[in-house]
Each structure stands twice: as C-alpha cells, then as structure tokens.
Chains A and B, each alone.
Chain A
Amino acid sequence: MKIHKYDTVIVGAGGAGMRAAIESTKRSRTAVLTKLYPTRSHTGAAQGGMAAALANVEEDNWEWHTFDTIKGGDYLVDQDAAEILAKEAIDAVLDLEKMGLPFNRTPDGTIDQRRFGGHSRNHGEAPVRRSCYAADRTGHMILQTLYQNCVKEGVEFFNEFYVLDQLITEVDGVKKSAGVVAFELATGEIHVFQAKSVIYASGGTGKFFKVTSNAHTLTGDGQAACYRRGLPLEDMEFFQFHPTGIWRMGILLTEGARGEGGILRNKDGERFMEKYAPVMKDLASRDVVSRSIYTEIREGRGCGPEGDHVYLDLTHLPPEQLDAKLPDITEFARTYLGIEPYTDPIPIQPTAHYAMGGIPTNVAGEVLSDNDTVVPGLYAAGEVACVSVHGANRLGTNSLLDINVFGKRAGIAAAEYAHRSDFVELPENPAQLVVDQVERLRESTGNERVAEIRKELQETMDANVMVFRTEQTIKTAVEKIAELRERYKNVSVQDKGKRFNTDLLEAIELGNLLDLAEVMAVSALARKESRGGHYREDYPNRDDVNFMRHTMAYREVGKDGKDSIRLDYKPVVQTRYQPMERKY
C-alpha cells in the first residue's frame, strides 16, 4: 500500500474533472485520478452541443434559458442553481473558445448556434438557436480542448487508477473528507490518497440498463463510494431516456439531428410528434418525446416486423448539410446498421442516457450529508452530482454546460478550501475496505458469474424501470435486484492475477451498479406521481402537493449487519417561477 498526499484530489478526468483540474492546479497541489485515460472519458461521446444564450444568431437571453431549464426539469429544478447555470453559460462557452475549442462559425465568424429540444424563445413561444456546437462532435472537442489545456497547465494525472472508497473522519462530531482509496490497474496495488479536498467527477451510471448510450465504464463508482459511506443520493429515480438511440444498440443519434430538421415518423410515415407537442413537435423535451415513441409502438404504429421502433427521417435534408453538420451520426448508421441516411430513414428507439440524480451538492459544489449540512472538503460536479439543475428531466446541451460551469466552480472552491484547511487525519487502516473487497473477490470460489448477474440486472431494469413504470413493475425490479445482490455474494473471478485485472474490476463495478439500481428502484417506488423522466402509469399526473421535493436516499446498516435504504426528502428551491403544467 502506498500513501500519497495532495491538497486536492479529483476523481475522474471527463469534462467536469478536467475543467475542475484546470482551476485547482493553478491554486493547489492537485492529483487527478482516473480509471480511463482522460481522452477516453464519455464526455467525448457527446454530440449535439452546449447551451448558452449568446444570442449570436437570434435574440436570446439567459433568463429565457433559466426558464426553459426549470420547465424542462418539470419544476423539480433548484431555481437558484438553474439561474447560475444559465448566467455562467456564456462565459463557460467563451472560456472554451479561448482555450481553443473549434466551434462551428456563423458567416460573421462568431460561434454558430442551433436548435435543441426544449430550448425556446420567450418562455415557450418557439424553438430558439441556443446550442453552441462543433459539428456533431461537440463533446469530443470539449474533452480534447480541456485535455490540451491540462497538458498546458501541467496537470498531474494518475491514469488507470480506480477510486473505490471515500475516506471520512469524524472531527469533533463533524464528518470530514480525509481522502480516497484507489486501485492501480497496471499493478493491482492499492493507494491511499490523503487530501484536504476531494472532488468527485466520475460521471454517470447508465450501465445498469441494457439499451443505453453510456460507455461500458459508466458504472457509478463515485456515487456508490459515497453512498456506502453513509452519504445520501438525491433524486436517483430520475433517469433520462433519450428518444433516438440506434435500434437495439442504444448508440446515440443526437437531438441535433432533429435540430437540423430531422423528423420522427411511425410505420405509416406520419410525423407523430405533431399530435403530442403541437408547438415544439420533434423538439419537445426528451421525456415527452420518448413517451410519445413508446405510445406509438404500444398502439401498433411501430416500424419493422416486430413493430418495436420508429424512424428518424433525415432523407429530406440535403446531403451537404448532413455531411457538414452531422457527419458522425450518419456514419454510425452506415457502420452499425448498413443504412444510408441520405436515402433511408434510421430505425431508432429510446435509449437510457443520463442520470439526473446523484451526489447532492450546493451551488459551490460542496457535497451534502443531509438536507443542509456540508461535508467539509468534499465536492462533486458533473453527471455524478445533483445540484440540482436538471430536476426531473435534463434539457439537451445542458450537461456539457453543467460540467463546465460546476466543474469550474468545484475546482476553485476545493482549491480555496485546501488553502485554508489542514489535512484531516486518515481513519485507522484506511485501505481496509478495499483490501477486503479485492481479496474476497480474488479468493472466492463461488459459482456466480459477473456477466450473468449483470445481464439479468440490465434486463430487469429495461423491462421494469424504463420509460413507463408502475408499482407492479418497480416491485418486480426491487425483488430481482435483491436476489441479484444476494447472488453477487457468491461471485468469483477467473483472473487471479495482479496485472491489469479487468476481470476483478468488472466485478467491483457490478457491485456498484447493483447498489445504485436498488436505490433507483426504491426511490421510484416511493414517488407516486409522474414528473419528467419518471413516469408512473398508475399515477400519471404530477403531484405538487405531495412530491414537489427531492428524494434523499440513505444507506443504513442494521444491528444484524444487513443494509437497507431510508428515504427522506428535501425541499425544492423556488425563486421566481411558479410551477405550471408543461406543454410543448
């Protein structure tokens, strides 16, 4: 076991982690621990754009953006946070441009902007061009640009280090962050990083679904590490299903495709979104579009012999426009489906995409241990966190924004905290939990296989807690997850070695997915209403009287050593917008 000491440790090198690192490296001795090489992070998969009311191509302002974000989130958004997001968006985009990001340009040479779902002029009047983009590889360009600037700033990376535990020490009755424990992939060695500040920027958790746009590595490690140490997880029932994933594969086709004029059609060729969202049509918010697609499918208007998908039709757009604005996604259709998007509509279905919930933080990125207590020295930003700027449903282009705005804020806040604070003493045997976990898995002779349990988990999640949920389906999922968690205790790995043992790490990642899936299902069961991404067929309406509040899920360990989930609730911060019915 090795012990390292840094002022600030950042867990994750995606957009949020690297944006934080650029700030904190200037201000404090910083280490970035990342399980992937930075440029492998899933921020690089983002396609469509990053929202900011630059008003480069038409009238726009950050107040409209704030409103759209709150409405898009079905009023579960903390309005003070949404205001910061929309206001600081403009500088966030300009910062990236100055760092070198090659945005597409207008004829005037300014940053070009395009339409995106849920973004409107003047509180819902019509779609507005607010998304700043670089073809359909905006995330790639953000990730590359941030990495380039990390190279410039000399950010210190520990690549292929998996953070598996969060260390917390109680000082005078206050829980404080003391550091993290990491597993080095190359050697199997365990490292303890003592740090004054720790920032989680470890991304999402989509891999508990089968059809998902998320990478294999998005297994919610950060959320799980904090949760296991008694910290709450907020709004985990809210998961976004993006309308246009490649049929059966889940690979994302950006909403930018509809922003450029693409149309969703059912088997009769009908532009069905006109029925569900007369104003915004194909550019209604994602939860609305995904439900509409499944409604078409359920009512027998799906395409193909099994009627299990619909079409994204780009055939009326000029090939030059597709080549210039959507080169990557048209290539995905060619590569993975053998389809030519110039002439063929593309078969699509909703795909599990984005975790609105996560580690609760305030607007400075500080992690909360309950509704209002901050854990000194602990920060989170990006998809791992819940500020909450996305509420019950995130608007497209608001996450690339979130990672930049709150990544930067967390980086500054963490470094400044490190400056004015001392190291917190490490707990006794700091690496114990990880050592035990690794040893148990390596030595286990149990007969359960990681791949089988993961497959069953993904199948139950897809079948029971996707776009449509009921008490019955969620209960089925809760029971199945409980069974899988039991079976997980008998899981064994074949690779017993130390070097690059990805077999072992997949087992650990599965453990995280199981814990988080349970939190998601239990939180969903208790929310007896429909709001944003959480749709209960047995409670189809939003219920502001009982459920205008954030879910806070805590892990509790009983005297018998068994763990269970305790749910609590946190008020939503409302400033100037009164909840209204959402219409698109």
Chain B
Amino acid sequence: MTGRSPLDTLKATGVPVREAVPEDAVAGVLPSWVAAPGGVGEVAEIMRAASSLGLAVVPSGGRTKAAWGRPPERCDLVVDTRAMDRVLEHEAGDLVVRVQAGVTLDGLAAALAVHGQELALDRPLDGATVGGTLATATAGPRALRYGTARDLLIGITVVLADGTVATSGGKVVKNVAGYDLGKLFTGSYGTLGVIAEAAFRLHPMAAERACVTSAHPVSEDLGPLLRRVTAAQEEVSAVEIDWPDPREPYTLTCLVEGVGAQSRASAVRELLGTRASVGGEPPGEWARLPGETFVLEARVRQDDLYDAMLAVAGTVRVTGVEAAVRGWAAPVSVLRIALRTDDGPAAGDAAGAAFVTALRDMVEPGGRVVVVTAPEEIARRVDRFGHIGALPLMKRVKERFDPDRSLSPGRFVGGI
C-alpha cells in the first residue's frame, strides 16, 4: 500500500480506469475516476478495489438519466457500463435474451428485430442502457399490455459493493426458485449494487400495428373514455396522452397490435367519437419524455388519471409555470410533466418548487408525485420522492446490501 495512489490500485485490477472529466458528473457531482469494465468479472474486480480504498461508487450507463435522482453525497468512482455492450445469448425459439447491462435498448431492439422479436419496453430516451432502464424503472405506455421492465425481467446478475457477484432468476420464463433480486434492483438508482447482466422475456413483433388518434378539450372527462377503450374487446395495447399545453386540448393515441389491427382500430375509433382517426405507426414522439431539465412524474390509478390532469391544469394556472405533459394509462398510470421556469432564476425556482408542492397536495395520498429531474436550486427546495409507505424497510434493505454506504450514497430517498 505504501505510496501507491488510489488510481494505481484501481488500475492494478487491469480494468481500464481514467481520470474523470467534467462530462462525467453525476447529478452535478464530479467523480475522481471512471472505470470501464468489460464484463461482470471486471466489475467485481473494480468493486473489490474500490471497497478496499473506501471509495464511493456510482454506476452509470448511457448517461441519459445521469441528472436524475438526488446528487450523490460522495462520488469517487464512476463505474461506466457502456463497454459491457454484448448480447450474451439469444435463442430465438425460447423468446429469451440475456445481455450485458451496458447494451442500449436501441441496439437491442435492432438486434432482436432481425428475428422478428422485441423487448416490449418503450424507449423514452435515446441511448439508454438496459442497466439504467432497470435502475430507474423507466416505463412507457405499453405497460398497459406488457407490464414494465420488472415484469419482463427474468434474471439478473449484480455486483455488490464488496465485489460479491450474485445472480437470481435465470433464463427461463417461468421460475420461482429463490428470491427475485431483479425486482429489488428495479428502481434502486444504483444504491444496492451494479447491475451487470440481465435476462428478459421477449415478445414476437406484432404482425400489424394501428393507432387511433383523437383530440379532446380539457373539459371532456377522460375517465369514461379510458374505461371504454381499455375494456374494449379489440385489446388496446397502450393509450398515450399527449398534452403539450395544459390550457389546450389533449390528444389520445390508442395503439392496437396484432392480427387485424386495422379493423380492430376502426372499432376502437367508434368508441372515441367522430373526431377520432385511424393511422398506422405511433407518432414519432410516442413515449418520449416531454422535457429534459425539470420533469415530474405523477403516478396514479387508471381512473384517477383525469383528476391528476385537472390537478396539473389547476397548478399551471395557480403557479404560472409552463408545462408540457405526456402520460399513459396502466395499472400504475403515469403523467410525465415537464416544467419550464425560465422567467428569472429566483422567482422561477420558487414557482417550480411551489408547483411540486401544490400538485403533490392534490395527488397524494391516492397517487404519488416524484421529481424525476430538476435544476439544482429547485431540487434543493423540495422533497423529491414524496410519500413512500415502505421507506423504513427500504432503508433496512440498503443497510444490509451496502452497510458502508459506498454505493451512490444519498441518490435515493431518505438518505439511501
């Protein structure tokens, strides 16, 4: 150990390690070094070295969500998974794929499309990796039919803070042997371990797709529309709400997939009234985040979506903050709300924070309002995560997995 620098110790693992540059910052916090392991073994090596040095480690993927979550309290080493970009196994007949965590969803989609298959997850951001998608539990409109990442994940390999490698699940679609660590790591924001590999259940790509689009004034109650559309025997796969300005009408897009999609879509159109029209593929902005720098997520039950929309419209009116909204219906329905607070920093920050508080007051306790990402000044003034029933248990899980708090400390709620 004498005289050896931490960088030397990290490099002695054989894993590529470099000094960090400003672009490596995680939620505004600059690490000292960045390691780029090529596989699970190298992740373990680097974690063991980091742990021996007492370094705080933050895993990172495509960096599309590097500004999400709270800034880590400490961040010495970033473990960049982007070199771990191999599809490890894809037996098309099994409809299962096993990948390294640094594979991007886009890259994976292209590889699977060749076989007429897909991982049925929406892609809100270009360049997002499998690992980052799991760690932040990002979802999209197709959750209505396919569930979210946790529902499609069938196996996971993670590396803990001390370098322990652990696998749960496997590569078969049906499996109840042991605890499901995949679930635990979904939404863990890098605070429990580094996700190194994942296996997913795939779906055949739909033979046909069709969309039904309709515009509705805010005064028109979404509730009955949604009930009709989601109960329709034509089996709608997804319902997206696009609402670029909460003072203006919103657009509904219903996605129908599979054999007879066109004719089924025509039947769905009848349910939405005369203004609805049937088209082909979903619009280009489908499932995309409505903004980048200041985004909230309201999470509610399906039948509470319209109330949540009214709450957003009301909050826009009261706070004067501009907003753009995109959301979807599912068992956990989501409105993603992008806020613009560009009228002078101080006033803007106060208004932004006021927006979060006001909206949360209306949406809780039936739903949740989460600050996905926000400018630093605003983030400091608000509680990012709001009410979480099982927070004490989550803290206990964190204590067991990472007793030294060396993984992404403070990125998640309650100091986790």
Q: Do A and B come from one complex?
A: no
- A residues contacting B by CB (< 8 A) are none
